Amino acid sequence: MAAQNQTALQLIRQTGFLNDLSDEELAKIADISEIQQQDAGTVLFQEGTVCVSLFIVVTGSVALDMHVPRRGQIRILTVGAGEILGWSALWGSQRMTAMGTILDTSTLVTIPGQRLQELCDADREIGYRVMQRMAVALSRRLLAARLQLLDLFSETQPA
Amino acid sequence: MEKVTEFPEFLPASELQSLLDVLMNAGYQTVGPTVDQGAIVYDEIDSVDKLPRGWTDRQEAGKYRLEQRDDDAYFGYVVGPHSWKQFLFPPLATVATAERHDTGWHMRTPDDDPPRYAFLGVRACEIAAMRVQDRVFMGGSYIDPIYKKRRDSAFIVAVNCTQAASTCFCSSMNSGPRCESGFDLALTEIADGFIMEVGSDAGGEILKKLPTTSSTRERLHQAESARQQALDQITKTLDTEGLRDLLLDNLDHPQWDDLATRCLSCTNCTMVCPTCFCSTVTEVSDLTGDHVERRRQWDSCFNIDFSYMNGGVVRNGVRSRYRQWLTHKLASWEDQFGSSGCVGCGRCITWCPVEIDLTQEVAVIRRSTTNTNPPNTNTGAAQ
Amino acid sequence: MTSAAACKPTDPWLAYSVTMDQVTPETPGVATYDLIFTDNEVAARYTFLPGQFNMLYLPGVGEIAISISGDPTNGDRLPHTIRVAGNVTRMLAGLAEGASLGLRGPFGSSWPLAGNTGKDVILIAGGIGLAPLRPVIYALLANRHLYGQLTLLYGSRTPEGLLYPGEYDNWRTRGLDVQTTVDRTTDGWNGNVGVVTSLLERMALPRSEETVLFTCGPEVMMWYTVQSARECGIPDENLYVSLERNMNCAVGLCGHCQFGPEFLCKDGPIFGYDRVASILKVDDL
């Protein structure tokens, strides 16, 4: 268990996601984390299912698809190294808004949402840092979504 | 052109025509001020009868009127809606042609055979404006052959101002009212004639042929008083201290919004400004489509589609277009050409239909910006 | 960064005669037109630097500013990748091989390659913005040993909009890491979906201080690309953008292309970010 946690600690560090935390603090998160290797094509989570884990992508990529009636599965985003998925596991039992499918063989850090929540409640310092990094990650995701929405590459015809 | 070195000569008023005649005999097309449509404009003239003798101008923001003088001075006014740029940088010019042959399109430089102009009545601010445009059209990597040809062959007869309009602020821009250099001949009008100064070899050659006499000390004194009167009459100022940074640091100042409620984007200021140089080249084709001319004509940054690109207009509003004009003229120009683009002639103030005065607009921005180093303050303390 | 007007004619208004040699359809509405000078002497003298542009002239219709998108070591054949966006480009798209037109150029500043040997280079392109960067790719790969890590991050609206896909494998083989992404997918796309800035944020930059970044695409894209690059530790002075404005004379005489104090035709179109950072933020400048 210790050996695997050491690896988890190293891998979480590698993602850069929680770099504000000290090794001691990060070890507490590593203790409740799991490392998963997933092959291309594996469905990580279904759209609409309850979100129980936070995922941090170490290597590889995950495709997010949303189902639209009569249009089928629409791929809205691919997520790669250093990025997170399933953040709503951290603050309640919200449902996944997209289906996550492994695109390229990936290594993921998986953190059970409830245990991470408990850890954050118990250690407010860790909790604050985790929420801070979540906020940064979400604001980046929001900006990226807005840039996609702006459709900057659309053809413009003269008036 | 050299600075004035010769001892000034005197030309009687009755002999002014000889100046025109000598210039015409030397092959010049003489151009000078004349009255047209209630204003003093520049046009080809061959006789002093065409000059606005006995006329003066009253100018204020948005207002220009001619009035009779109580003397018969030939040059008793300042500047009107025209500047000399229309002769050096023609409002319409063919810059290239294209002919369709069996072998494809043949592009050619058109024949350009303009007259050699002699400008009579060039004011100090106008000499300064020509120098500003010289840097634009001839000072960069690409020289405009049309401007260069006309500018190189132009003969300048300057006239020292003996009065100022309420819109003049040349002294703030160090461009007048005294003609120091940049002319072939310079005239100062006194009661019975003109004190003539020579500014170049070409000017000296022309002067030799005129019926001049040595100036008396009395006449030289009168000329000095007349020139001083022009300086004394200047009331308008533009504070140029740190002006470039002031404007470029205030691109989001609320005064631009205020200007947007007043400015009509009518382009008058750019048309009358002697340094504005914006233009557009378009295609003109005959009916066969085989003979095409590329025609350059004056344009203005105030025109709505001047900044059109890829389906939209960059400066899509009066606010951004006015800001472009003023910040270019008074700030960016320094980065581009090493001097201000403004010579203080006041034309933009006179000819603005809604009386926008750029000296006042700058003053508003200057007053309302937080500036810990007020201009012209010498605290004497180490900073 | 200096313009190489190696064959500047004495008359800045006069166009050279060129022939359309080959037309290559690229993506919907976009094609590459290879132009060849009719006069062999002009062809021999003409050279350009990566990032420079020509004014292409259709007599009777007008001129248009187009970046040269070919190999800078080949001055004889000049490819221009052009999207139909107005009258001139629409007429151009209707011309056949062998058509006669005019060309003035080269104009403008270039991507700074010479001063950045030894560095890692990241190219970030959006949409048709890959066209002015392709000469850089050719130049970098021709001198591969002079540079560190080379990466191309390229975003397009859809997979069909990606330019020059047939060249990516060749570029990869020669040492350019090519990553693509799209804003929205079509069936059969198994690549990245999302904005190109996300690709940059996922990159490990082993030596960010010794990395230079060139970006070309819509202004909003370039702005956020540059901000991400700065967050990744790339110094401001190592960032370069390619800007666009209305281009009429291309020789600094007509005033149209001004952006603040910069004339895009001679001071640009390529600028160091530090030079234009303060005016990029100003709306409608």
Q: What is the pLDDT of residue A30?
A: 93
pTM, two decimals, is 0.91
A153 vs C85: CB contact, 8 Å cut-off?
Answer: no
| Inter-chain CB pairs, A–B, below 8 Å | 7
| Inter-chain CB pairs, A–C, below 8 Å | 71
Q: What is the pLDDT of residue B376?
A: 41
Nearest CA in chain B to A156: B311
- Helices B254-262 and B358-368 cross at an angle (nearest 10°) of 150
Nearest CA in chain B to C87: B310
Q: Does A159 touch chain B (CB under 8 A)?
A: yes
DSSP β-bridge partners for residue C212 = C121
Summarised one tens digit per residue, pLDDT across range B116-162 is 999 999 999 999 999 999 999 999 999 999 999 999 999 999 999 99
The backbone torsions φ and ψ at residue A132, rounded to the nearest 5 degrees and listed phi first, read -60, -45
How much of chain A exceeds pLDDT 90, in percent?
Answer: 74
Neighbours of C122 (CB within 10 A): 26
Helix intervals (H) in C106-195: 134-142, 168-173
Torsion of CA A105, A111, A113, A117, to 10 degrees: -150
Residues 176-215 of B with CB under 8 A from A: none
The nearest CA of chain B is from the CA of C92 a distance in Å of 15
- List of residues 6+ apart from A46 with CB closer than 8 A: A96, A99
Residues 131-150 of A with CB under 8 A from C: 140, 143-144, 147-148, 150
Q: Does A149 touch chain B (CB under 8 A)?
A: no
C14 vs B96: CB contact, 8 Å cut-off?
Answer: yes
Residue C121 has pLDDT above 70, yes or no: yes
Top pLDDT among B108 and A154 is at B108
Q: What is the pLDDT of residue B311?
A: 79
Residue A157 has pLDDT above 80, yes or no: no
Q: Does C60 touch chain B (CB under 8 A)?
A: yes
- Taken as a whole, chain A contains a residue count of 159
Q: Does C182 touch chain A (CB under 8 A)?
A: no
* Residue A153: CA count within 13 A, CB half-sphere: 32
Report, as an integer, the average pLDDT of B102-106.
Answer: 95
Is residue B27 within 8 Å of B117, Cβ to Cβ? no
Report, as an integer, the average pLDDT of A32-48.
Answer: 95
Q: Look-up: residue for tokens 């000059």?
A: B51
Residue A5 has pLDDT above 90, yes or no: no
Task: Specify the 3-state DSSP secondary structure of C50.
Answer: coil
Enter the tokens of residue A121: 């409640």
Q: What is the pLDDT of residue C5?
A: 43
Task: Specify the 3-state DSSP secondary structure of B117.
Answer: strand
Q: Does C201 touch chain A (CB under 8 A)?
A: yes
Nearest CA in chain A to B311: A158
Q: Which of B14-18, B285-289, C8-12, C250-254 has the lowest mean pLDDT?
A: C8-12
The backbone torsions φ and ψ at residue A156, rounded to the nearest 5 degrees and listed phi first, read -115, 130
Q: Does C282 touch chain B (CB under 8 A)?
A: yes
The nearest CA of chain C is from the CA of B37 a distance in Å of 30
C127 vs A74: CB contact, 8 Å cut-off?
Answer: no
Summarised one tens digit per residue, pLDDT across range C205-261 is 999 999 999 999 999 999 999 999 999 999 999 999 999 999 999 999 999 999 999
The backbone torsions φ and ψ at residue B108, rounded to the nearest 5 degrees and listed phi first, read -140, 150
Q: Does A41 touch chain C (CB under 8 A)?
A: no
Is residue B81 within 8 Å of B283, Cβ to Cβ? no
- List of residues 6+ apart from A151 with CB closer than 8 A: C157, C183
What's the CA gap between B189 and A10, in Å, rounded?
91
The strand ranges marked E within B207-290 are 213-214, 279-285
- Of residues C82, C62, C75, C65, the one with CA closest to residue C4: C75
Sign of CA dihedral B38, B43, B49, B51: positive
Summarised one tens digit per residue, pLDDT across range C76-110 is 899 999 999 989 999 999 999 999 999 999 999 99
- Residues in chain A with CB shorter than 8 Å from the CB of B311 are 156-159
Q: What is the mean pLDDT of chain B?
A: 94
- Residues in chain C with CB shorter than 8 Å from the CB of B289 are 60
Summarised one tens digit per residue, pLDDT across range B44-60 is 999 999 999 999 999 99
Residue type, B344: G
Residue B372 has pLDDT above 60, yes or no: no
